[in-house]
Structures are given as structure tokens and as C-alpha cells.
Chains A and B, each alone.
Chain A
Amino acid sequence: MNDNARATQEAVITADGVSFSYRSGEYVSRGVREINLEVMRGEFLVILGRNGSGKSTLAKLLNGFLVPDTGKVTVLGTDTSDDDKVYEVRSKVGMVFQNPDNQMVASVIENDVAFGPENLGIPREEIEKRVTAALEIVGMSEYRKGSPNKLSGGQKQRIAIAAILAMLPEVVILDESTAMLDPKGRREIMETVLKLNREKGMTVVLITHYMDEAIEADRIFVMNDGEIVSSGAPREVFADAESLKAAGLELPAASRISLKLAEAGYDVPFAITDEELADSVCRLK
């Protein structure tokens, strides 16, 4: 399930010994410490952590929104601390944020999606093509001429993703983009993300506190208190229940039930999806 043939050995983003603290006057609060990671082209990477674990800080470091105090972040070989290259970096690493209402800039959806490429000075016909393609990928083509303020939260986030895609980024980072959505909206975004990665080969970094959104990832990094505390394929990471608990995360329902059944003496392997749990329970009867 996790051997994604699209993930390559080529690093698009590299973080090397990165630390960052927030400062306001005398007050220093810790952001992240000693982060080392590589985002490989074509992979679906999930960064998991509770509120305040430093995961959003890390996301902002990966697209040059923040610059490390020590260590280095490079995007396709470009150092994000190079002031002359800041726009280049941000056009390669697109970011979708948490609140759908804060990301709409225009009163007509197609203008909203066109806003990014317009700022890059792309010719009109090319922009048209990009807007069409981007709306198509997120399944919002029929709303093109409509107004964003009549959309649901999930639909607004899909427009925000389309607006990023129209910039033709190398990587899309979603920073808790499902946190404010209802279950239906969350499902829409997760389906869009999987389609982007699996069908279009887009490199995706998803920042979340929901473990069930991490099940389909190629790799997971778990953050706690500003540090990466574990990493690996979902099954490896989920199996380490103790360190997940310490990081304030909650296993998916299927995992918890499989553990309880095993504890009660039944031969039920650790499940991460509902399907796996159903398989092993039905096998017992």
C-alpha cells in the first residue's frame, strides 16, 4: 500500500540541522529544533503532531516563509535564506492554509485561481489554460464563474488548492487544511490530495493532527515539542503506540480495536484501516 512507485530518490526540499525560535522582545518561544528531513519528488509525506508541536513552524520553514536561525533549508538546491531567490522558492513550494475564508482574494472563482499566475506575469492564454486545468483537478470546473462566498468550507479549500496548482509548483504543502472542515469537507480534501499525488505525481506534504489522514502516506514524520520523535511508513509509526501517546496523538479506531482484541487473546494483527480490521475479525468466525 505504501510502496508508491512515484516517490523517487531525488530530494526536492532538504532541511539540514534546522532550528528556529519565535522572538518578541524578551520573550522567546521555541519553534523547532535540529530538524533533518528530505522531501522526495513524487512522495506523499505527512507531518503529524498535536497543536503546538512545531509542525506549522516546520511547514513555514520549508517554503521560505520563515528562515532558520541555524541550519539550512534548500528547495531544489536554492537556499531559502537567499533574499534574492525568495519568490522563486515560494513559487515552487505552494502552501494551503487552515482557514478557507482567509485565502479567497477575488469575487469570482476563476479570478481567484488566476491571481497567482497573474502576479508572476504569465501571458493571458497560458493563465486560462492553467485555471482550466487546476479547476479540473480539484473537481470544481462547474463553479468557475461563480462566487467563492457561496461555497462550503471543503469547496473553498479545493479552490485554494487550485490557486496553488495554477502556479505550477513542485511541491504542495497543506498546513492543517482540513482542521476547520466538517467530515464531508475533510473527505473532499483528502480525495483531492490523493488524486494529486497518485494521478498527477505531485509531491505533497500534509501537516495534520488526524492520524487517519496519515494512513495513505508514503512516509510520516511525528513531531512533539519542536522535534521529530519518530518517522517511517505508516504501519511502522502507528505500531509504536507509546511514542504516539507521548506525542498527544490518538490511534485510528481500527487500530485501537485490533489492539484490544489481541489483548483479549484473539489472533488479530495490528490494523490501521477499517478494512484490515474487518478482514481479520471475519477470519476468526
Chain B
Amino acid sequence: MQIKIENLSYVYSPRTPFEKTALKDISFTVNEGDTMGIVGATGSGKSTLSRHLNALIRIQSGRIMLGDADLSQRKVDLKAVRKKVGMLFQFPEYQLFADTVRKDVAFGPMNFGINDAEASAAAAEALSLVGLDIAEVGDKSPFELSGGQMRRVAIAGVIASKPEVLVLDEPTAGLDPAGKREILELVKKLKSSFVKTVIIVSHNMDEIAEYCNRVAVLDEGRLIADTTPDGLFNHSDVVDNTELDYPHTVKIKRKLAKRGFVVDSPALNVEQLTEGILGRLAE
């Protein structure tokens, strides 16, 4: 399913003294199979944009096509849209609420109108996809689990409804490095399941560089780049002109280049940069 965003604009509190433009004339397309990063400073419109994607915000002007469904139409079937586009908010473990893990994960599918047995099966499948065993954790309170496990339960709760598109808002914030890697590897793995397309909103350029094939940059509500991580970090001046950062390995590459050691590699992760350095040394 393709997501096509056309001339999307959004203003908070229009025609009041508090009027604030959050999105200005944004157009881009996310193709099935993409892992798309959305980056930008705090207040650049990332969250407003991502909330449009599963119709938590109704469109004021412009258009979003989710496959054949036009979200700007009044009559759009919101339930169907939200079943197709799963949304994981920041610090999702704070949104766990049920007294057992099983009930928490089954809550979504049950709201989409399937019976208890089917919801329970969906919960078991979702938990196993995130690497948890329902027999082991199903009857525990979600609040007995570790931080990383709680976040995985929250992800299971979203994917239990089998969304085709997964929108993740800062999915690794607050986790330690091992926990971050675990979640990102999990997202990668989910893409070989029913989840076809992933959209990650993040401040962490290392993650965007390593895990996304495309990246969109927002700046004060405008789309100022729609490119690949290589294009953004190695072949544009967008980072220098915004409050964004380079991925750590690209910083090292740039430091080397300043000293006359030019590495021919996108350097989007440690492996690529090491290969680039080795290649140059072998010349």
C-alpha cells in the first residue's frame, strides 16, 4: 500500500490569537517496502504529520491517500484506516493499562471486532513476533516486566491488529544501547511479516542512517528534503543549515576528510566507515 501525501497543510487554533502553522504544503510519497525516517528539530511538525497518517488529526487542507482510501473525505472509514496504520507513541510503556499482558495485547484486535479466541490467538502471535512467550508472560502484570520488555509488549499491542504500516514515534527514546538495538532489529524483522512499510520519527541520526532507506526532513513545518540517508548526510548541506546532527560515523569521516584523509564510503555505520578506511589505506 502506497501512502501519498499531497499539499498537506495544518494550522493549530486557526483564526485565534494562538494560531500556529504546523505544516506547510507538504507533498511526498512513501512506497510499500520503505523504512522512512522523519527528522527535524523539536516543533518542526514531525508529530503533527505522523498523527495525520492514521487520522488522529483530520485534514484541513491537502490530501492523503492510503492506498485507495482518501483521508480527506468526510466519509472515510476511520476504523479501517486505523487497522491498516498502527501507531506507536513515545514512551508507549506508559500506555499499558490492563492487569495482564495477554489482555493488554488483545485489547486492540478486540476493538476491531473479533471474538475472544481470535484476539487471544492474535495476542500470542504478536507477542511471539516481539520475542516474548505468551505462556511465560501472558498472565503477568505488564508492570512487573523490565523497561525493554514493557516496550516490546506495547509494540505487540499495536501489531496484534496486523497493520500494514507501522508509524513509530521515537521508538528507542530512553532505552540503553542494547535495548535500542533490540527494538530496531525487531522493527527490521517485522518487515518480513504483515508489516510492509515503516515510518520512524526520530532525533537519533545514527538510527536513521543505519535502518532507513529514505528520510524526510521537516523544518518549521516545511519539507526541506526527501532523500536517502546517504543523500542527506553526504551530499547535501541540509544538516549544516538546520539543528540536525550528523550520524557519529559520518562525523568521524568528515573529521578525517578535513585532515586530508578522504574516505570513499557513505559511512552510515561502523562497518561502512571501517571498510572505507581500509579501502583508502590499501590504495
Is the CB–CB distance between B203 and A254 below 8 Å?
no
B148 adjacent to chain A (CB < 8 Å)? yes
**Chain A residues within an 8 Å CB radius of B261:** 278, 281-282, 285
Query: What CA separation (Å) do A274 and B205 show in the bound complex?
Result: 17
Query: A266, B281: Cβ atoms under 8 Å?
Result: yes
> Chain B contacts of A282 at CB under 8 A?
256, 259-261
Task: Tell me which of A179, A248, A256 contacts B270 (CB under 8 A).
Answer: A256
Q: What are 25 A-B pairs at a CB distance below 8 A?
A: A50-B178, A52-B146, A180-B174, A183-B203, A183-B245, A210-B177, A249-B176, A253-B248, A253-B249, A253-B270, A253-B273, A257-B249, A257-B270, A260-B270, A261-B274, A274-B252, A274-B255, A281-B256, A281-B261, A282-B256, A282-B260, A284-B281, A285-B260, A285-B261, A285-B281
| Count of CB-CB pairs between chains A and B under 8 Å | 83
- Tell me whether A51 is interfacial, beta carbon within 8 Å: yes
Closest A residue, CB atoms, query B181: A250
A257 and B278 contact, CB distance less than 8 A: no
A65-B260 Cα distance, complex, nearest whole Å:
53
Within 8 A of B (CB), among A112-150: none
Tell me whether B110 is interfacial, beta carbon within 8 Å: no
CB of B173 closer than 8 Å to a CB of A: yes
8 Å CB contact of A180 from B146, B173, B281: B173
A285 to B257, CA, bound (A): 13
Known A184-B245, A261-B277; judge A152-B42 contact (CB<8 A): yes
How far, in whole Å, are A275 and B252 apart by their CA atoms in the complex?
Answer: 8
Partner of A274, one of B174, B176, B243, B251: B251
**A264 at the B interface (CB under 8 A):** yes
What is the CA–CA distance of A285 and B177 in the complex, to the nearest angstrom?
33
Q: Which residues of B contact A254 (CB under 8 A)?
A: 252
**Chain A residue contacts of B281, Cβ below 8 A:** 266, 281, 284-285
Chain B residues, CB < 8 A from A274: 251-252, 255
Q: Answer yes or no: B81 CB below 8 A from chain A CBs.
A: no
Interchain CA distance A152-B43 in the complex, whole Å: 10
Closest to B257 in A: A278
Question: Are B245 and A248 touching (Cβ within 8 A)?
Answer: no
Q: A253-B249, A257-B252, A278-B259 are in contact. Are A209 and B176 (CB under 8 A)?
A: yes
Q: Are A264 and B179 in contact, with the CB atoms below 8 A?
A: no
A52 to B243, CA, bound (A): 33
Complex CA gap A260/B275 in Å reads: 9
- Identify A257's interface contact among B148, B177, B274, CB under 8 A: B274
- A: number of interface residues (CB 8 Å): 33
Give the distance in Å from the alpha carbon of A210 to the alpha carbon of B177 in the complex: 7
- Chain B residues lying within 8 Å of A284, measured Cβ to Cβ, are 281
Would you call A50 and B203 a contact (CB within 8 A)?
Answer: no
Q: How many positions in chain B have a CB within 8 Å of any CB in the partner chain?
A: 33
The answer to the question of B100 belonging to the interface, with a C-beta cut-off of 8 Å to chain A, is no
Chain B residues lying within 8 Å of A82, measured Cβ to Cβ, are none
- Tell me if A179 and B277 are in contact (CB < 8 A): no
Residue of chain A at shortest CB distance from B274 = A260
Which chain B positions have C-beta within 8 A of A15?
none
Residue from A51, A152, A210 within 8 A of B147 (CB atoms): A51
CB distance B259 to A249 under 8 Å? no
Q: A179–B175 Cα gap in the complex (Å)?
A: 7
In the bound complex, residues from chain B placing their C-beta under 8 Å from that of A257 are 249, 252, 270, 273-274, 277
Contact with A along B165-192 (1 / 0, CB 8 A): 0000000011111110100000000000
Q: Is the CB of B204 within 8 A of A183?
A: yes
List residues of chain A with CB within 8 A of the CB of B280: 285
Known: A250-B181, A275-B255, A282-B261; 9 extra A-B contacts, CB below 8 A, are A50-B176, A153-B42, A180-B173, A180-B174, A182-B42, A248-B176, A253-B273, A256-B270, A261-B274
A266 to B280: give the CA distance in the assembly, Å. Answer: 13
The answer on a CB contact under 8 Å between A50 and B179 is: yes
Q: CB within 8 Å of B: which residues of A? A: 50-52, 98, 152-153, 179-180, 182-184, 209-211, 248-250, 253-254, 256-257, 260-261, 264, 266, 274-275, 277-278, 281-282, 284-285
Return A120 CB to nearest CB of chain B, in Å. Answer: 32
Cα-based distance from A180 to B170 in the complex (angstroms): 10
Task: State whether A264 touches B252 (Cβ < 8 A).
Answer: no
Contacts of B277 in A (CB 8 A): 257, 261, 281
Could you tell me if B278 and A261 are in contact, using CB atoms closer than 8 angstroms? yes
- Contact check, A183 vs B178: say whether CB atoms are below 8 A apart: no
Contact A278 B256 (CB under 8 A): yes
Q: A51-B148, A152-B42, A261-B277 are in contact. Are A179 and B174 (CB under 8 A)?
A: yes
Among A51, A180, A266, A277, contact of B179 (Cβ-Cβ < 8 Å): A51
Closest to B246 in A: A183
Partner of B176, one of A51, A261, A281: A51
* Closest Cβ–Cβ distance, residue A1 to chain B (whole Å): 18
Distance of B264 from chain A, by nearest CB (Å): 14
Chain B residues 196-214 with CB under 8 Å of chain A are 203-205
What distance in Å separates the Cβ of B170 from its nearest Cβ neighbour in chain A?
9
Q: How far is the CA of A180 from the CA of B172 in the complex (A)?
A: 10
